[in-house]
A and B are shown apart, each in its own frame.
Chain A
Amino acid sequence: MSKVALIGSPNSGKSLLFNRLTGLNQKVANYPGITVNIGSGQSLSDPSIEYMDFPGVYSVHAISGEERLAIESFTNALKNDLLDSVICVVDSTRLEKGLIFALQILELCYQYQKPLVIAANMSDVLEQYNMQFDYRGLSAALGTPVLPISAKTGTGLEQIPDIIKDLPAPSANYQSDTIASDASLVHLQAQQLAQNFGPKGDLLIKAQNRLDSFFLNTWSGGASFFLIMYLLFQAIFTWAAPAMDAVESGLQMLASALLPLISEGILSDFIEDAIFGGIGAFLVFVPQIFVLTLVVGMLEDSGYLARAAVICHKPLRLFGLTGKSFIPMLSSVACAIPGIYAARTVDSSRKRWLTYLAIPLMPCSARLPVYSLLIAAFIPAQKAFGGLLGWQGLAMFSIYLFGIICALLVTAIISNTQKDMRDDLPFVLEMPPYRLPSWQPLVSNAWNRSKYFVTKAGKIIFAVTVIIWILGYFPNYGAALSESWLGSLGQWIEPIFAPLGLDWRYGVAILSSFLAREVFVGTLGTIFGIEGAEENVISLAEQIQSSGLPLGSGIALLVFFAIALQCVSTLAVLRREVGSWRLPVQMFIGYSLLAYGAALLTFYLIELFT
């Protein structure tokens, strides 16, 4: 098996090329702190080739711990003979920038005698603008092949396996001690090469500037930002609705077809309550994850997200964050897990750490069924402000806003009190060119993310549902819940939740929701004896109303759910990203205590004024 490394700067299209060559769909990045995520996959056209996708870096001179790890892993692979050849991906439309890194890689390959191909990506864009690139001239000057390719259209990709197979190591044609020399000299060399052989003219940059003048203008930029964010939320909450309804109807149809075939008893009760009731409630949210990943991916690939980061930088800096924190925080509105992954793009480790602190407080979609239930139970379905707004909609908006404000306040306080300046890098962000996104990888990525959500979070939800069902069903076979094991457990933990005006039933539901927030609705539904509570939130809300729960307790529950970090998957992913349990455990304990304290304060304040 011939091992071929893919390396390049961020935004060079390296990962898209890797996915094209291997048929896989993954994004690699440096795992902060512990290890480097190197993707690998077999070539689609030649199974004897294995491609290894290294994280994108700008230079071999690292400025952060993560970059250092990525570069070290690449040089170690070269040193230890773990690689047979290297493909360095550069963006043809911004050649001098790519060539600075390519020259450093060329020197490393020369030093370790590894063959190198420079893949000049985005040849389709040059063709579109009728721009000329002297590939042969550059290849002769560098002493290594330069191959025009387009990872987007697939042009030139078929030549890669043939070229790398019989390729010799770079000749001494361009040996210039690039790595050791002054950075400005390297830039000068790259500039001269780009001027001699690269595309001429600044047609692309002019087009980019025209769009930037609109999207980053104080007025039109602000208006378009809010319009795009509005469309994003519409996508999550409105466009996903038909798919969510379809999932729900499909599950109902499956249940009505399957259940009559099973004789009444424990198995039938288990399938109906635990499988269709518990798992069904969770599957309904998968379309939202799909739509959000698709839209965020589209914004990212189009180049807009970098502009959104610029727009948000100044306001987020007030809270100790950076404009680069915007993308992870936005992704967390659907689910904290993609948000945590997106935080890899925050290069400053201090800002990334603060972003991790903000992510679990962002109003994720798992909170949605809990909010819907509590709002339906406690807030009247009446119109306010002359019929313009409904109280329930206003309550939903307020609790979403409350979560975001909490996130910003927490980061502001911690940023001002914790002065540890671990790798706090300044804000320098490359503006990628505006491009029309390629649909196939976007859809594929959204599908994979949804699949990951189902397989990872689904296991936990299934386990919780089974445990809750067993505890609530036995030892009296579902006859009286208060006399079940679950009832006994609830009465034991009741003193913890009694100060919030909550009885044992809510205590059990809260306790189970520490594994995943949406479990709260299913558990409460089971406890109130309503089967399929998630399909009919109103009827469960009516049960809550008639249970005599005071308004203060209902609002306290909303506040509690807005702050508490009740998601095992989030904690597990965070642990993997930071390489230790310290931060997840600190956040879990801190946010649980903060949530309890804020809920208690809310309860007493409401009780005082009502």
Chain B
Amino acid sequence: MTLWDLSQGSSAEVSHYHHSVEENYQTRLSELGFHPGETISCVLSPRLGAPKLYRVNNTIYSLDDSIASLIEIN
């Protein structure tokens, strides 16, 4: 299951990144808070495949499917 599959209002813990995510981008995702072990909530999931909104601590990020589907969750 990936972050993109997370429905609005639910939370999950990041497990790992897909191997296709480049190392420097893995570092950036970790620095933004999307690191393995961190709990992420999906705060908004608009229809029609629009980017979803995820909460990491006190910050909200918008991620589209191209990256959210590469972040595996437990």
Neighbouring A residues of B25 by C-beta, 8 Å: 63, 425-426
Judged by a CB distance under 8 angstroms, whether A398 is at the interface is no
| Structural contact, A96 and B57, CB atoms closer than 8 A | yes
Q: Do A96 and B64 form a contact, CB below 8 Å, given A183-B27, A187-B38?
A: no
Q: Which residue of A lies closest to B55 (CB)?
A: A205
Residue of B nearest to A221 (CB): B46
Query: What's the tally of chain B residues with a CB closer than 8 Å to chain A?
Result: 34
Q: How far is the CB of A336 from chain B (nearest CB, A)?
A: 27
User: A307 CB to closest chain B CB, in angstroms?
Assistant: 9
Q: A310-B51, A314-B48, A314-B50 are in contact. Are A431 and B62 (CB under 8 A)?
A: yes
CA distance A218 to B47 in the complex (A): 6
Residues of chain B contacted by A429 (CB below 8 angstroms): 51, 61-63
Are A313 and B51 in touch, CB under 8 angstroms? Answer: yes
A264 within 8 A of B: no
The distance in angstroms between the C-alpha atoms of A218 and B35, with both chains bound, is 30
Task: Let me know if A213 and B57 touch, CB within 8 A.
Answer: no
**In the complex, chain A residues whose CB is within 8 Å of the CB of B47:** 218
> Could you mark each residue 414-454 of chain A with 1 if its beta carbon is under 8 Å from any beta carbon of chain B, else 0?
00000000000111111100000000000000000000000
How many angstroms from the CA of A213 to the CA of B46 in the assembled complex? 9
A370 to B43, CA, bound (A): 47
Nearest CB on B from A65, distance (A): 12
Question: B28–A427 contact, CB under 8 A?
Answer: no
Contact A183 B31, beta carbon cutoff 8 Å: yes
Specify the chain A residue showing the minimal Cβ separation from B29. A428
Cα distance A202–B63 in the bound complex, in angstroms: 21
Asked, given contacts A183-B30, A184-B36, A212-B44, whether A63 binds B24 with beta carbons under 8 Å apart, the answer is: yes
**Contact among B35, B51, B53, B59 with A94 in the assembled complex (CB-CB below 8 Å):** B59
Chain A contacts of B35 at CB under 8 A? 183-184, 187
Q: Within 8 Å CB of B27, what residues of A?
A: 59, 61, 63, 183
Q: Mark A300-324, 1 if CB is under 8 A from B, else 0.
A: 0000001000110110010000010
Quote the shortest CB–CB distance from A180 to chain B (angstroms): 12
Contacts of A310 in B (CB 8 A): 46, 50-51, 53, 62
Q: When chains A and B are docked, how far (Å) is the Cα of A187 from the Cα of B27? A: 11
Nearest chain A CB to B54's CB is how many angstroms away? 10
Task: Determine if A601 is an interface residue (Cβ-Cβ < 8 Å).
Answer: no
CB-CB nearest in chain B for A425: B25
Once bound together, how far apart are the Cα atoms of A117 and B44, in whole Å?
Answer: 36
Chain B residues within 8 Å of A58, by CB: 28, 31-32
Q: Which of chain A's residues have a CB closer than 8 A to the CB of B50?
A: 216, 218, 310-311, 313-314
* Interface SS of A by simple majority: helix
- Distance, CA A217 to CA B49, complexed state (A): 12
CA gap between A191 and B46 in the complex, in Å: 29
**Which residue of chain B lies nearest to A60 when distances are taken between CB atoms in the complex?**
B31
Least Cβ–Cβ distance between B33 and chain A, in angstroms: 6
> Is B10 in contact with chain A by the CB < 8 A criterion?
no
Q: Which of A67-87 contact B (CB under 8 A)?
A: none
Bound together, the chains give a CA A375 to CA B12 distance in angstroms of 58
In Å, the complex CA distance between A323 and B57 comes to 24
Report which A residues bind B (CB closer than 8 A): 58-59, 61-63, 93-97, 100, 182-184, 186-187, 191, 194, 202, 204-205, 208-209, 212-213, 216-218, 221, 306, 310-311, 313-314, 317, 323, 425-431
- The 10 lowest CB-CB distance pairs between A and B, nearest first, are A183-B30, A426-B67, A184-B35, A427-B64, A431-B60, A218-B47, A429-B62, A183-B27, A183-B31, A310-B62
B→A interface (CB under 8 Å): 24-33, 35-38, 43-44, 46-51, 53, 55, 57-64, 66-67
- A sample of 21 cross-chain residue pairs with beta-carbon separation below 8 angstroms, ordered by A number, consists of A59-B28, A61-B27, A62-B24, A63-B24, A63-B25, A184-B30, A187-B38, A205-B60, A209-B55, A212-B60, A213-B44, A306-B62, A314-B50, A317-B64, A323-B51, A426-B25, A427-B63, A428-B32, A428-B62, A429-B63, A430-B60
Given contacts A94-B58, A187-B38, 16 further A-B contacts (CB under 8 A): A61-B31, A62-B24, A183-B27, A184-B35, A184-B36, A184-B38, A186-B31, A187-B33, A187-B35, A209-B44, A209-B55, A216-B50, A314-B49, A430-B59, A430-B60, A430-B61
